[in-house]
């Protein structure tokens, strides 16, 4: 059966949802490795350095998987969404080009970093990891710039169906880009840190490390949890200011996300309601004035309503459910991470020493990473579904961007992603099964 626009959208959503998992881990793991190696060097602990070394091997596997999934997506883009590439080529091409250079920086230094364990020692080896983290950030930065332009392209000059600009850099480096890049990358770091924290909770439950290894693992877990709490605060602050700018720059999306029917001041914040097909909101708990305060720090702030926009430009109305689900998971994850970190503070450490690494606490840490990945997925779903029916907001609709040239071959992409997932999972399992429990290694200091 040939692929139509709806099938192409579903295939692209599946592909991007899969790729995001590897992308965020590829962005976050270099930072996590630097944090753990720095801890080991500062404490002169070869066991902690061995943990960093093993994690770097897992990073190689995940980066390779990310490259493979990204390559599949680039093929999908060219085959199914060629009209989008043609329309925005002068701007999107610059972002994709930057991403290529950033990835080369990450890949070259990651290979150097992994291959020089025990050969380049101490802080010199740690310094090799910095370009890896810079390159991974650069990749996320470049790709998110392209998406931010699609979300809020500004005023465009279009000639013969193609964007014309003398300043593609200025088009990319917008205020929307700043908020999307900062909030997204902070979320990637948080998700990765909590994934690794969950891995160490599993390691503790399975191997029950004792002696020096137990001390090393607990030091690593505290470092990770404290850093996670920092990024919880960062993402919360960035998310607030991004929300305020969203109300200003993309009011149609903001109204849909926040269940705001009419343009008004003193707009209430509605929790638990839902949209009806006619653009009215049913049910929910209403907090008076709160949406206006959220959007502009004052009850008198005017917030545009969805009914001010033509119905054929309304986004998918279920985005509010996705957004509220995201907020609920964020609250749970943040609460567990903060509580675990607080148990290490001096006044609580002595009182609750016996609780910190008990089985219930470790079991509570296990799902934090997957839950935070779900938060990232939901965030991108809100961003993308909230932009519909446009692919380039206000200029090109999604059905106009579909090239329709792929036939039935597009259905092979989900199969490729399933195979890639299985291969990656087996590779990681074999890596950790072969190495087993951490043992002291020589030559790392």
- In contact, 420 and 412? CB cutoff 8 Å: no
Q: Please say whether the beta carbons of 164 and 157 come within 8 A.
A: yes
Contacts for 29 with CB less than 8 Å, ≥ 6 apart: 55, 58, 59, 62, 136, 192, 196
Alpha carbons 249 and 238: distance in angstroms, whole number: 16
Contact 337, 366 (CB under 8 A): no
Report which of 92, 186, 100, 175 is spatially closest to residue 138, judged by C-alpha positions: 100
Round the CA-based radius of gyration of the chain to a whole number and report it.
23
Interatomic CA distance for residues 246 and 157, integer angstroms: 23
CB distance 90 to 163 below 8 Å: yes
Nearest to 261 by CA among 244, 242, 245, 284: 284
Write out the chain's pLDDT in tens, 445 residues: 456 777 788 888 888 888 999 999 999 999 999 999 999 999 999 999 999 999 999 999 999 999 888 888 888 888 888 888 888 888 888 898 899 999 999 999 999 999 999 899 899 999 999 999 999 999 999 999 999 999 998 877 877 777 888 788 888 888 999 999 999 999 999 999 999 999 999 989 988 888 888 899 999 999 999 999 999 999 999 999 999 999 999 999 999 999 999 999 999 999 988 898 888 888 889 999 999 999 988 999 999 999 999 999 999 989 999 999 999 999 999 999 999 998 888 776 667 667 788 899 999 999 998 999 999 999 999 999 999 999 999 899 988 888 876 666 667 888 888 888 899 889 888 887 766 565 655 556 5
Instruction: Round to whole Å and give the CA distance between 203 and 420.
Output: 25
Which residue ranges make up each domain of the chain? 12-263+304-435
**What is the Cα–Cα distance from 73 to 85, expressed in whole angstroms?**
13
How many angstroms separate the CA atoms of 414 and 377, rounded? 18
CA distances from 281 to 54, 295, 311 (A): 52, 19, 15
Vertex 413: Cα angle to 410 and 415 (nearest 5): 125
């Amino acid at each position: 059966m040939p692929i139509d626009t709806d099938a192409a959208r579903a295939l692209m959503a599946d592909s991007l949802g899969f790729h995001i998992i590897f992308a965020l881990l590829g962005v976050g793991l270099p930072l996590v490795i630097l944090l753990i190696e720095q801890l080991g060097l500062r404490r002169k602990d070869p066991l902690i350095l061995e943990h960093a070394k093993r994690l770097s091997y897992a990073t190689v596997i995940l980066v390779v998987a990310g490259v493979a999934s990204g390559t599949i997506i680039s093929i999908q883009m060219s085959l199914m969404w060629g009209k989008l590439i043609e329309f925005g080529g002068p701007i999107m091409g610059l972002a994709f080009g930057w991403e290529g250079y950033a990835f080369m920086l990450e890949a070259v230094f990651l290979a150097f970093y992994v291959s020089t364990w025990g050969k380049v020692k101490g802080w010199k080896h740690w310094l090799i990891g910095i370009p890896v983290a810079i390159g991974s950030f650069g990749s996320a930065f470049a790709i998110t710039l392209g998406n931010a332009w699609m979300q809020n392209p500004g005023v465009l000059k279009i000639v013969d169906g193609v964007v014309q600009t003398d300043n593609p850099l200025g088009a990319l480096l917008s205020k929307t880009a700043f908020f999307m890049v900062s909030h997204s990358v902070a979320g990637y770091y948080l998700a990765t840190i909590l994934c690794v924290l969950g891995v160490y909770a599993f390691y503790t439950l399975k191997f029950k490390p004792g002696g020096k290894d137990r001390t090393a693992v607990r030091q690593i877990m505290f470092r990770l949890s404290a850093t996670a709490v920092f990024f919880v605060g960062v993402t919360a602050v960035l998310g607030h200011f991004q929300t305020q700018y969203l109300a200003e720059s993309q009011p149609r999306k903001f109204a849909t996300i926040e269940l705001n029917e009419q343009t008004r001041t003193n707009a209430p914040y509605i929790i638990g309601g839902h949209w009806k097909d006619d653009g009215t909101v049913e049910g929910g708990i209403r907090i008076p004035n709160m949406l206006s305060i959220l959007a502009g720090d004052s009850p008198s702030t005017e917030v545009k309503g969805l009914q001010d926009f033509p119905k054929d430009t309304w986004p998918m109305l279920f985005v509010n459910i996705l957004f509220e689900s995201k907020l609920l998971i964020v609250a749970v994850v943040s609460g567990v991470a903060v509580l675990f970190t607080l148990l290490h503070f001096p006044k609580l450490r002595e009182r609750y020493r016996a609780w910190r690494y008990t089985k219930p606490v470790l079991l509570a840490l296990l799902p934090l990473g997957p839950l935070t990945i779900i938060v990232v997925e939901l965030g991108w779903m809100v961003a993308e579904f909230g932009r519909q029916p446009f692919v380039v907001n206000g200029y090109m609709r999604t059905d106009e961007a579909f090239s329709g040239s792929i036939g039935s071959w597009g259905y092979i992409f989900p199969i490729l992603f399933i195979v890639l997932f299985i291969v990656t999972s087996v590779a990681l399992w074999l890596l950790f099964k072969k190495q087993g429990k951490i043992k002291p290694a020589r030559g790392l200091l």
